[in-house]
Amino acid sequence: DEGGGGELLGGSAELPPWQAAAARRKRLLQRLKQRRRRQEEAPAGGGGSRAGGSGGGGGAAGTAGTLALLLGEGSKRLPQAIIIGVKKGGTRALLEFLRVHPDVRAVGAEPHFFDRNYERGLAWYRDLMPRTLEGQITMEKTPSYFVTKEAPARISSMSKGTKLIVVVRDPVTRAISDYTQTLSKKPDIPTFESLTFKNRTTGLIDTSWSAIQIGIYAKHLENWLLYFPIGQILFVSGERLITDPAGELGRVQDFLGLKRIITDKHFYFNKTKGFPCLKKAEGSSKPHCLGKTKGRTHPDIDQEVVQRLRDFYRPFNMKEERAHLKGFWGWELHTEMMLMAHPEGVGGDPSLQACAGNFLVSSGHAGGNVSVTKIC
């Protein structure tokens, strides 16, 4: 905290600026060495949380990284991993949870570089990123990338090795959440039911409405698979981010090649909001929940409309030629993405864990039968 660190950072005002900076750096590093020495001399199991960096998980390494970044070390890099979607899937929660990890550095605001600001150039994009040290991962999240036709080619042009994360949830629930957000800003918009149909009498769904279109996941995925192998795309369950945040974060940390530092101890369930919150946020010792714009109460929707939407999404997300993946999106309610995200739970085959969620799946809707083919 530079604002309250007079003793630590000050005391060199009479020196030329460059000498003052060097003296300040020397004092910080001395303090760090002293802290490390105390930790090494401390009994096992004692004082571990004292030295925690981001969210108490990083130990001395996290502290060292924080001090180094405060000293202006490190450099701004283009992101090695991007959360590309989907809107109202849980992307903000995932990013906030990931920022607890000492080896993850992420820009807070959505850059919208690959959909709205591409003409500004990569130098502009890089400058938005936080400084990182060797071994740290730079990340950003912009959910609209997943449904932006030009985004896959543009990201591939930046780096073919970019890791992509897609947070998905039941497309019907997602559409209602999307509508709820718009309703909070524009209370006079038509009802969800009237926007869903081009003609309610015939049951013709209006696929031009973005709230509906986003949920046709297979259609959008097809575009990404033209530029990225499936092994570079991780599907995260928005539902499981709520019911088992540590489990989902474990999978994400593995996918990013990170040590599993974020665990159950970082979360508590907020009954008022209805979703998990962090016991300690990045750079803070205080609990942190997502803002009031998250977890809004959904309006009551006609259940006949809900069922028609489920029937609508099912063939889209199973259509072989559209997904190029032989039933990749076998969907029964929200189980499509649960199966994608949790191979360890499919058919009881633990060998699928190594696939990091990437496999072909088709499900029988009546009997719940599941067939799986590994593709990794």
Q: What is the pLDDT of residues 152-194, one digit of tens each?
A: 999 999 999 999 999 999 999 999 999 999 999 999 999 999 9
DSSP code of residue 367: T
Catalytic residue among 88, 141, 219, 280: 88
Binning pLDDT at 50, 70 and 90, where does residue 228 land? very high
- Is 185 annotated to bind a ligand? Reply is no
pLDDT at 49: 34
Label the pairing between strands 104-106 and 75-76: unpaired
CB 59 within 8 A of CB 261: no
Distances in Å between the Cα of 301 and the Cα atoms of 179, 181, 310 are 11, 15, 13
**CA-to-CA distance for 30 and 38, rounded, in angstroms?**
12
Report the amino acid identity of residue 191: T
Nearest partner of 59 among 44, 49, 74, judged by Cα: 49
Band (270; pLDDT cuts 50, 70, 90): confident
Please report the pLDDT score of residue 295 as a whole number: 61
Domains in the chain with CATH codes: 74-323 (3.40.50.300)
Instruction: Name which of 66-75, 176-185, 254-263 the model is least confident about.
Output: 66-75
Measuring CA to CA, which residue among 178, 142, 177, 180 is closest to residue 162?
142
Catalytic residue status for 88: yes
Q: Is 364 annotated as a binding residue?
A: no
329-353 pLDDT, tens digit per residue, is: 433 333 344 444 444 443 333 333 3
Distance CA 86, CA 82 (A): 12
* Cα atoms in the Cβ-side hemisphere of radius 13 Å centred on 58: 24
Please tell me whether 88 is known to bind a ligand: yes
Is 72 marked as binding a ligand?
A: no
H or E stretch including 85? Answer: strand 81-85
CA distance 273 to 242: 11
> What does the pLDDT read at residue 96?
92
Q: Is 314 a known ligand-binding residue?
A: no
The one-letter amino acid at 91: T
pTM score of the predicted model = 0.69
Question: In angstroms, how far is the first alpha carbon of the chain from the final one?
Answer: 46
Q: What is the pLDDT of residue 203?
A: 86
- What is the pLDDT of the chain when averaged over all its residues? 75
Higher pLDDT pick, 217 / 28:
217
Long-range contact pairs involving 7-15 (C-beta distance under 8 Å, separation at least 24): none
Distance between CA atoms of residues 191 and 257, nearest Å: 45
Tell me whether residue 298 is annotated as binding.
yes
pLDDT of residue 45: 40
The gap from C-alpha 196 to its chain's centroid, in whole angstroms, comes to 28
The pLDDT value recorded for residue 15 is: 59
Distance, CA of 252 to CA of 163 (rounded, Å): 11
Q: Is 112 annotated as a binding residue?
A: no
What pLDDT does residue 345 have?
A: 43
3-class DSSP assignment, residue 306: helix
